[in-house]
Chains A and B, each alone.
Chain A
């Protein structure tokens, strides 16, 4: 092979590997080299990129390979992963909100309570421990901010009661789920934008109110759109987003319990959750259906 031919081959191979990154890592480890070899053979000699039809085929194949991942787990196991991710996203969001608010208060010389910093830090520690499946230490780390929230926040307002109830419920869910199926690192991308948006709201946006609302709503809309687009491949993302939205809305719903202004919103969430769970059931392994690799 000539030097230029070797250069083309290397470039083509590199680009094939780049396209292959659309596949799940485990699949790439098993099949990657083989697929790259076939792609290189199937690409005409004068091209530096695979044929458009091969690129399209890889995109579809990668979506199918990702959809197959769920079929290794039962519906209950997939549901546990989705709920874990949703609850983790909510706790991270709360911690980011507190930390962002503290940073802003420190910058402007506003008064702030130190227990908030402790609560937020313990929140983060609880999450990390939950992710690492250290149940006992996680319970301890989670109980402290729960106690702090209950004892130090006051005077009691319906929103704060709702917040405390939501926090305790999320903590209980995490405790129940730790040690079972755990979301892998891929799920951190869900937590990432939520935390970033919350920090952005607290740290960058001048003033409060409308600007903060816009960032929050835009982030949530984007997440919702992505989760809807991803429904056919993996319904767990939509369920995780619904869990997050429900947890985030619950304190407000409890504060407005009398007017019931949040109830239609919660009803919509529940209505969207039903088809998502139905889809997840179809995407999961069933005792009567053979699993496909």
Chain B
């Protein structure tokens, strides 16, 4: 999962958001690293909707324009948590105590290969 996708899904964890709110949440959650452009955001929203990771939750009319809010689906939530778990395990390889046996497992596999 690419970083912008991860932060779009993460932004929706707390509840449904509309496009601009997703951009701001993703930027804040990533410490300013992920600055989504409008074009990138809607390309990602199209893809995530097609994949069933997010869904349209509500539509409202604001200043004469339609504003849609999107929410996480169960599939999207599961994919996000799986990605977070994967990244946490990858991080522990470098920073945590649990990294030692995993490294030795990798080493054992390499030796037996």
Interface residues of A in 30-70 (CB under 8 A from B): 31, 33-39, 41-42, 50, 53-54, 56-62, 64-65, 68
Q: Which partner residue on chain A sits nearest B36 by CB separation?
A: A57
Contacts of A59 in B (CB 8 A): 39
Q: Which of A37, A58, A291, A292 touches B39 (beta carbons < 8 Å)?
A: A58
User: Knowing A290-B50, A293-B50 touch, does A39 contact B40 (C-beta < 8 A)?
Assistant: no
Of the listed residues A37, A58, A64, A290, the one surrounded by the most CB atoms of chain B closer than 10 A to its CB is: A37
CB atoms of A292 and B46 under 8 A apart: yes
Q: How large is the interface on B (under 10, 10 to 19, 20 to 34, 35 or more residues)?
A: 20 to 34
Please, which residues of chain B bring their CB within 8 A of the CB of A291?
50
Contact A34 B40 (CB under 8 A): no
> Which secondary structure dominates chain A's binding surface?
helix
Are B46 and A57 in contact (CB-based, < 8 A)? no
If A54-B39, A57-B38, A57-B39 touch, does A33 touch B49 (CB 8 Å cutoff)? Answer: no
Are A57 and B37 in contact, with the CB atoms below 8 A? yes
* CB-contact partner of B43 in A41, A50, A54, A61, under 8 A: A61
Q: Which residues 55-112 in B have Cβ within 8 Å of A in the complex?
A: 62-63, 65-68
Contact partners of A38 in chain B: CB under 8 A: 18-20, 23, 38, 41-42
Where the two chains meet, the residues of B that have a C-beta atom closer than 8 Å to any C-beta of A are: 18-20, 23, 35-43, 46-47, 49-51, 62-63, 65-68
Show 28 residue pairs from A and B whose CB-CB distance is below 8 angstroms, ordered by the A residue. Answer: A31-B42, A33-B65, A34-B19, A34-B67, A34-B68, A35-B19, A35-B38, A35-B42, A37-B62, A37-B63, A37-B66, A37-B67, A38-B18, A38-B19, A53-B35, A57-B38, A57-B40, A57-B41, A58-B37, A58-B39, A61-B37, A61-B43, A62-B39, A65-B43, A290-B50, A292-B47, A292-B51, A293-B49
Interface residues of A (CB under 8 A from B): 31, 33-39, 41-42, 50, 53-54, 56-62, 64-65, 68, 290-293
